Structure 1
Amino acid sequence: MKKIAVVGYGVIGKRVANAINLQDDMKLSGVCDIISDWRIQNAVRKNYNIYAATQDAVDKMKSEGISVEGDLIELLKMSDLVIDCTPKKIAAQNVAIYKEKNIKFILQGGEKHETTGHSFSAESNYESAININATRVVSCNTTSILRTLTALKRANFLESARGTLLRRATDPWESHLGGIMNTMVPEKDIPSHQGPDAKSVDPELDVVTAAVKIPETLSHMHYWNVKLKKKVSKDEVLDAFKTSTRIKMIRYDQGLVSNNTIKEMFLDMGRPWGDMYEVALWEDMLKVQGDELFYAYVVDNQAIVIPETIDAIRALTGLEKNAQDSILKTNRTLGVLQN
C-alpha cells in the first residue's frame, strides 16, 4: 500500500484523488492547495486530509472553518510519491522541493519533457518508468495520439501519421473567464506541439500535427490521415484499435454524432463527472483507401489522463512490473470496459 499525495486540487487533481481512492494498492495521504473555496470544501466533505501550500493559505483555510493537517512539507514526509496537478509552470517550480525531500513525483502534460526527463503513456512505455524517480504524464491530446498510433504500430500497419486537432477553447468550468466566440484560432506553428510531444514518448513515430482552437469547451476532436505500411482491410484496422482497452468504438448511426451526445452517454453510464477515460473513435466513419487510413475521434480533456496517472504511480513505485496487469486493474476500478 503506497501513500500518494496530490498537490493541486483542480480539474485533474480532484479526479486523480478520486481514482486513487478506488485502488486497493495505494492510499491518498492528502491533498494540498492554496484555495479555500467550494473546490477544497468538497474535498473536506469527502474526508480527505487537507494541507495548505503556503502560510497565507493556512490562515485563509482556517478562517473558512477548514481543518488543516499541515503544510506541503509535512504532507511529503508522510507520502511515498506526489502527483503535482497544479497549473502550468507552477509544478516545474515545485520540482526543486520534491528533489530536496527525495520523493518520487509525477507531473502533468503542461510541463516540458525536460522537467522530468521522462514522459509517460501506459500502453507505449510503461516498462521504462518502473522504479524511476519522476515522470510526466503527457497531455490529453498527446495521450490520445499515442494510444491510437501505438495500436497501429503494434499491428505493423503504421508508416506515418498526419493529424488535425480541433481543440476546445478552455475548461468548461472556466468558460465565463476566457475562451473564444465566433472565431477559430489556428496555432501558428506546424507541427503543433502535440506531435513532438508524442515523440518524447516514442521517438520512432513519424507524426505531424496541426491544431485549431474552436469556440466550445466539452472536448477535443481529432482527424487523422495515416499512411499504411501495407494493404489492409477496414476490419483489420478495427481489430488493431481493439487491442487497446482504452479506445472505445462508437457509431455515428447510433446517434453519437457529436461531442455533446457522447458526453451525454457517459453521464448516463454513471461515470463521475461524466468522464470519458477512453478515446471515442467512430468505427463507421473510418475509411481505408489504398495505403491510406482516415479516422476521427473525440478526447475528454479532463479525464483521459486519469488512468494513465494511476498506472504511472504503479510503475514509479514498483507496485506492478507488468504494464498490461496495471492497465487492466486500473480499467476495472474506473469502469473502463473492453469493446
Structure 2
Amino acid sequence: MNHIRVAVNGYGVIGKRVADAVLLQPDMELSGIADVATDWRIQAAAQRLPIFAATDEALDSMRSVGIPVNGTLDQLLEQSDIVIDTTPKYVAAGNFARYREAGIKVVLQGGESHTTTGHSFVAQANYATALGRDSTRVVSCNTTSIVRVLGALQDAGLLLRARGVLIRRATDPWESHLGGIMNTMVPEPTIPSHQGPDAQTILPDLDLVTIAAKGAHTQTHNHYWTLQLTRPASREDVLDALRAAPRIAFIRMSDGLVALNSTIELMRDLGRPRGDMWEVAVWEDLVTVQGDEAYLTYQVYNEAIVIPETIDAIRALMGTAADAATSMAITDATFGMRKDFLKMPQTSGSRL
C-alpha cells in the first residue's frame, strides 16, 4: 500500500504535534513542513524534518540563517497528497484557494470558519460524511470535547439538552510572555459562546448552550455541564455511556488529581510527549445524577486534543479507511490512548 504523503503548513503548537503524529502512522509519510519563521522552532525542526519555505521572503530568510531548505510551499504541495494547514487563525482561509489550485486535499483547523470547507469534523461523530471529500475542518479543542462527551450521551439515548460553562486558558504556554491576563477573568462577549453553535455543525440535533470566560492561566480548559436527561437515570447509566465512547478517560479527585495542573503533571509522569493529553479527562468521582439531571466536569488539553482527529481526517479525505472505527483503531494504538489514566491502557504497542 502506498503511504499517504502529508504536508504540514505551519509549525506552531498544533503543526509540530501533527507532524510528529504523522511520523507514527503506518500508512502515512511526512513530505515536509512549511513555515515563515526562522527562529528556534524551525531551527530545532530542521535537525530532523524536511523544511520548506511558505513564502519567497521566507525562503531567502531561512537560507540567510543557514536553515537547510528543501524548496517552496508550492514544491511541497507537488510532493504531497494532502496538506494540513495549522497556520495562525484566518491565515489558512487565505491559503485555501492556493491549495485548491494545486489540486490537493486540505484539512483546516478550528480557527477557520465552517463555511470555508463546508464540512467540520470529529471522527467518532461524522467520519462517514468526510469520506472522499476534498477538504474538511477539524473543529476547535473545546468543540471537539463537546462532541465527544455530549455525543456519547446522545448516542446512548440519554441526552435531552445541555448547558455548559467553559473556563478557558488565557493563552498558550509558549506565548505567555507576549500577553494574557492576570488576576482576573474575562467573559466572552456573547451568549451562547461560539463553541455551542460550532458543535451543532457536527451534531445538528444537539440542544446546548455554552457560556465561556477566559481565566488567568495558560494550561488547558475546564468545562462544567448541567445535563437534562431523556429519562430518570442512574449514575452508572451516565458513566457507562462515557466508558463506551472513544477518547474519553477518567480521572479522580480521590487519586489526588484535584486541579488542572495535577493532570498535566500526570501526563508528564506517564511519559507523554510534551506532556500531551489527547483524551477528554472526566472527573469520575464528580459525575452526579439526580433523577433526570446530570452534572459533570472535565478537562481539555487545548494543545493536543485535536491531533488524533486530524490524523483521522487525513484517512477520511483520502478514503484509505472505510469507517471511523478502522481509522481510530490505528490512530489510538499509535498514540497509546487510554480510558483511565491510572489503570493499564487497553491498547498495546504504543509508540508515543
Per-residue CA deviations over 1:216-272 (Å, capped at 9, x if unaligned) read 001000000010001111111111001122101110110000110000000011111
Alignment-derived partner of residue 36 in structure 2: 34
CA contact (8 A) 1:160 1:226 kept: yes
The one-letter code matched in structure 2 to 1:36 is: T
Please identify, of 128-137 and 241-250, the stretch whose mean Cα deviation from structure 2 is larger. Answer: 241-250
Alignment-derived partner of residue 16 in structure 1: 18
Cα distance between partner residues in 1 of 2:83 and 2:287 = 40
Alignment-derived partner of residue 337 in structure 1: 338
Tell me the CA shift for residue 338 of structure 1: 3.3
Q: Does residue 318 of structure 2 align to residue 312 of structure 1?
A: no
Aligned pairs for 1:168-207 (under 5 A) are 168-207=169-208
CA contact (8 A) 1:140 1:305 kept: yes
Cα distance between partner residues in 2 of 1:28 and 1:207 = 38
CA contact (8 A) 2:8 2:83 kept: yes
Cα distance between partner residues in 1 of 2:339 and 2:213 = 31
Q: Does residue 55 of structure 2 align to residue 44 of structure 1?
A: no
**Unpaired runs of at least 5, structure 2:** 341-352
Aligned pairs for 1:189-268 (under 5 A) are 189-268=190-269
Cα distance between partner residues in 2 of 1:53 and 1:322 = 33
CA contact (8 A) 2:312 2:331 kept: yes
Q: Alignment partner of 1:242: what SS?
A: helix
Q: What is the alpha-carbon root mean square deviation over aligned residues?
A: 0.7
Tell me the CA shift for residue 337 of structure 1: 2.3
Tell me the CA shift for residue 57 of structure 1: 0.7
Q: Alignment partner of 1:79: what SS?
A: coil
CA contact (8 A) 1:156 1:229 kept: yes
Q: Does residue 299 of structure 2 align to residue 326 of structure 1?
A: no
CA contact (8 A) 2:250 2:339 kept: no
Tell me the CA shift for residue 49 of structure 1: 1.0
CA contact (8 A) 1:58 1:68 kept: yes
Q: Alignment partner of 2:69: what SS?
A: coil
Please identify, of 48-57 and 81-90, the stretch whose mean Cα deviation from structure 2 is larger. Answer: 48-57
Tell me the CA shift for residue 43 of structure 1: 1.1
Q: Alignment partner of 2:151: what SS?
A: helix
Alignment-derived partner of residue 110 in structure 2: 109
Q: Does residue 150 of structure 2 align to residue 118 of structure 1?
A: no
Q: Alignment partner of 2:244: what SS?
A: coil
Per-residue CA deviations over 1:260-307 (Å, capped at 9, x if unaligned) read 000000001111100000000001011001111100000000000000
**How many residues matched?**
338
Alignment-derived partner of residue 150 in structure 2: 149
Cα distance between partner residues in 2 of 1:151 and 1:165 = 19
CA contact (8 A) 1:245 1:337 kept: no
Per-residue CA deviations over 1:177-202 (Å, capped at 9, x if unaligned) read 01000111001110000000000111
Alignment-derived partner of residue 162 in structure 1: 163
The one-letter code matched in structure 2 to 1:76 is: L
CA contact (8 A) 1:85 1:91 kept: yes
Cα distance between partner residues in 2 of 1:135 and 1:249 = 30
CA contact (8 A) 1:219 1:300 kept: yes
Alignment-derived partner of residue 63 in structure 1: 64
The one-letter code matched in structure 2 to 1:296 is: T
Alignment-derived partner of residue 25 in structure 1: 27
Cα distance between partner residues in 1 of 2:223 and 2:91 = 29
Sequence identity percentage: 57
Cα distance between partner residues in 2 of 1:217 and 1:337 = 24
CA contact (8 A) 2:124 2:246 kept: no
Alignment-derived partner of residue 304 in structure 2: 303
**Unpaired runs of at least 5, structure 1:** none
Q: Does residue 128 of structure 2 align to residue 127 of structure 1?
A: yes
Q: Alignment partner of 1:270: what SS?
A: coil
CA contact (8 A) 2:279 2:338 kept: no
Cα distance between partner residues in 2 of 1:154 and 1:328 = 19
Per-residue CA deviations over 1:9-40 (Å, capped at 9, x if unaligned) read 00000000000000010100000000111101
